[in-house]
Structure 1
Amino acid sequence: MSERVSRVPEGVDTGKPSAARLYDYLLGGGHNFAADRALAEKFLRAQPNARTIARLNRAFLRRAVLFMMDNGIRQFLDLGSGIPTVGNVHEIAQKSDPGSRVVYVDFEEVAVAHSQLILENDPRAAIIQEDMTRPEAVLKAAEASGLIDFAQPVGVLTVGVFHFVPEKADPASVVAAYRDAVPAGSYLAFSHFTQDLQPEEMAGIVEVMKKSQNPIFPRTRTEVEGFFSGFELTEPGIVPLPLWRPEGTNTDDPDKAGIYGAVGRKP
C-alpha cells in the first residue's frame, strides 16, 4: 500500500490535502496522503522552520493541559483536535488523573476515524465529528456525550486552529459562545499563527495554503488578544510559544516561532 494511512473513511478524497493531515505530516505522523505531503513540502519551502513550529505547538498543548490540571480542571473540550498523535489530551490528562474526561471535536474524516480507533476502549474520552465554528451543535453534542458537565469548570483548547477561520465567519463570536457556555473558573488555551513574527515566511505560507481547502488567516497580537475578551490572561500573557511557561532549558528562538500562545481564565 503506497499510502501510510491504515483506515480511510468512505468518501474521503485522498487527492485533496487537508490542514489536519499536513500537520500530522509535519509532526512525523503516518495519517496523511501523497497530496498532503506534496502540500507540506511547499509549506516547508515557504517556512523552513515549519516542523519546529509544529513541535512547539504540540508542546504548548501539553503545558497548557498540565497548567489547567494544576488549577483543578478535570474535563477538557479540544476544538479542532486533528489527527491523533503522541501526546493526545486524554493521555496527558489521564496520566495525571485517570478520572479526567476529554471530548475531541473535528470535522476532518480521517482525524475522526483514527480518533474513534484510539478511543474505543476509553470510556472517559470521545470524538465528535462537527465543525467547531458551530458552537451550538458542538456544545449540544459534548453535553450529550455525558463526559462534559457544564456546571463545572472546563478546559477549552483551541490550539493552532482559529487561524483557519476567516473574518467573515466572525471567529471572535465563536470563541465568545464557548466562553459563555462554561462556568467561572474555566480556562481557554489558544495558539494562533501571526504575521508579527517572520512576516515574509508567513506571507509565503498564506500563499501556499490558498491552494488548499484550509487557507490561513494569520493575526496580530492585538487581534489575538481580542479572542480573550471575558477571560483574564494568565502569566506570561500572549507570547511566542517558546516563552509560554517553558520547561527546563529553552533553546528555541521565539522570533522564529511563528505562533502566539496564551491561556486565559474565566473569572
Structure 2
Amino acid sequence: MNARKSSGFDVNTPNVARIYDYVLGGKDNFAADRRAAEQILQAFPESREGVRANREFLGNAVRHLAGEVGIRQFVDIGAGLPTRDNVHQVAGSVDPAARTVYVDNDPVVCVHGRALLANTPTVAMLEGDLRRPEEIWAGAVETGLLDPAEPVAVLLVAILHFLDDPHAEVAKLRELMAPGSHLVITHLSSTPRRSEDIDRVRQIYTGAGSGVFPRGVEEIKEFFGDFEILDSGGFISPIALRRFEMLGWAGVGRKV
C-alpha cells in the first residue's frame, strides 16, 4: 500500500505497489518502477528472493488459518496490486465460500483490483487508509463479507514499515477483532550492519512518495499487543527465517 494519497496515474513516478509487482516478476509496472526496484536490489540483493519468501509466508499463513483454524473471513490491508497466489485464491482453495476484503489507499490500485475481481462474489476491494482503521472496519462490514462477531484474519503484510508510528491504529484493529481472530504481519527489519543500505532504500522510497521505517524484531512484535504469537516455523522454513532475518521478520498472532 502506498503510504501517500495517490493523486492519479503517473507512469513517471515510481509507485510502491508497482515496485513490489516488478520484484515479484509481475507485468503491472513501468520504467520508473523498474529503475527504483533495481536500485533497491543493488542495496539489498536478497530482496527479490525475500519478497518471494514474503508471499510464501503469506500463502502458508492463510492456508493454515483457513484449513487448520477454520477462519472464513480475511481482511488484507495494504493489499497492493493483485498478483500470484492472492489471499482469496489461497483461502478459496480450502473453502470456496471463504470471504476476502482487500484494502488499499491508492485509487488506481483499487480500480485495477475491482476490475480483476468483478466476477468474484466472495471478494471486495475497498479504498481505505490504515491510518483510519475504524473507517476500514466499517467499510468491510458494509460489503457484507465481514461479520465482526466472528473470528477474522487481518493481514498487514509489508505495510507497517511505510508508516512512521502506526501502533495506535494496529491496537484499534486488535480491539475490533473478535476472540479467536488472527493478525498476520510481515515487516522490514533494521540492523546496525545494514544501516547504510537502509538509508539508500529510504531515499528510493522517498522518491516514490513514501517514507520507510524499518524496525527491530522486538519492536515489530509489539504490534501484536497481548495476542499469542505463534511459531513462525509453521509458515516458513527455519532456514528461510534465518536467511532473511537481516531483511525482514514475519509473525502470526492469535487473539485469545
Q: TM-score, normalised by structure 1?
A: 0.87
Match of 1:204 among 195, 200, 209: 200
CA displacement at 1:251 relative to structure 2: 5.8
Q: 2:242 aligns with which of 254, 257, 261?
A: 254
1:135 Cα deviation from its structure 2 partner: 0.6
Query: Whose helix proportion is higher, 1 or 2?
Result: 2
Question: Is the aligned partner of 1:66 residue 2:54?
Answer: no
In 1, are the aligned partners of 2:14 and 2:207 still within 8 Å (CA)?
A: no
2: CA distance between counterparts of 1:254 and 1:84?
28
Q: Between the two proteins, what is the percent identity of the paired residues?
A: 38
- Which residue in the other structure is 1:4 paired with? none
Match for residue 98 of structure 2?
100
Corresponding residue to 2:126 among 125, 128, 138: 128
Q: Does the 8 A contact of 1:172 with 1:227 survive in 2?
A: yes
What is the root-mean-square deviation of aligned Cα atoms in Å? 1.9
* Cross-structure match for 2:3: none
Q: Which amino acid aligns with 1:67?
A: H
Say if 1:17 and 1:206 are closer, same or farther in 2 by CA, change over 3 A: same
Q: What does residue 224 of structure 1 align with?
A: 220
CA distance in 2 between counterparts of 1:189 and 1:27 reads: 20
One-letter code aligned to 1:124: T
Partner of 1:210, secondary structure, is helix
Structure 1 residue 121: Cα displacement: 0.6
1:188 to 183, 196, 206: 183
Return the alpha-carbon distance in structure 2 between the equivalents of residues 246 and 32 of structure 1.
Answer: 28
> Displacement of 1:226 after TM fit?
0.9
CA deviations on 1:79-137 (whole Å, 9 max, x unpaired) are: 00011001000000001100100000001233212211221111100100111221111
Partners of 1:194 and 1:202 within 8 A in 2: no
1:18-66 alpha-carbon deviations (Å, 9 max, x no partner): 1111000100111112211111111111111111111011111101101
Contact kept, 8 Å, 1:75 with 1:154, in 2: the verdict is yes
**Mapped contact 1:101–1:125 kept (Cα < 8 A):** yes
1:205–1:123 distance in 2 versus 1, CA, 3 Å: same
Equivalent position amino acid for 2:108 in 1: V
SS in structure 2 of the partner of residue 36 of structure 1? helix
Q: State the SS of the aligned residue for 1:67.
A: helix
- The separation in 2 between residues aligned to 1:251 and 1:226, in whole angstroms, is 24
Matched AA of 1:147:
L
Measured after TM superposition, the shift of residue 253 of structure 1 is 6.8
Supply the distance in 2 between the matched residues of 1:162 and 1:251 (Cα, whole angstroms): 24
Q: 8 Å contact 1:153–1:186 — kept in the other structure?
A: yes
Aligned length: 248
| 1:23 alignment partner, one of 16, 20, 27 | 20
Q: SS of 1:48's equivalent?
A: coil
Q: Tell me the residue number matched to 1:75.
A: 73
Aligned to 1:266: 255
How many angstroms does 1:11 deviate by?
3.4
Do structure 1's residue 214 and structure 2's residue 176 form an aligned pair? no
Q: 1-side partners of 2:77 and 2:19: how far apart? A: 17
SS in 2 for 1:158: strand
Question: Per chain length, whose mean CA-contact separation is higher, i.e. which structure has more relative contact order (CA < 8 Å, sep 6+)?
Answer: 2
**1:135–1:232: structure 2 CA closer, same or farther, 3 Å change rule?**
same
How many angstroms apart in 1 are the aligned matches of 2:214 and 2:98? 33
Moved more, 198-207 or 137-146: 198-207
Cα 1:256/1:94, change in 2 over 3 Å = closer
- Residue 179 (structure 1) aligned to one of 167, 174, 178: 174
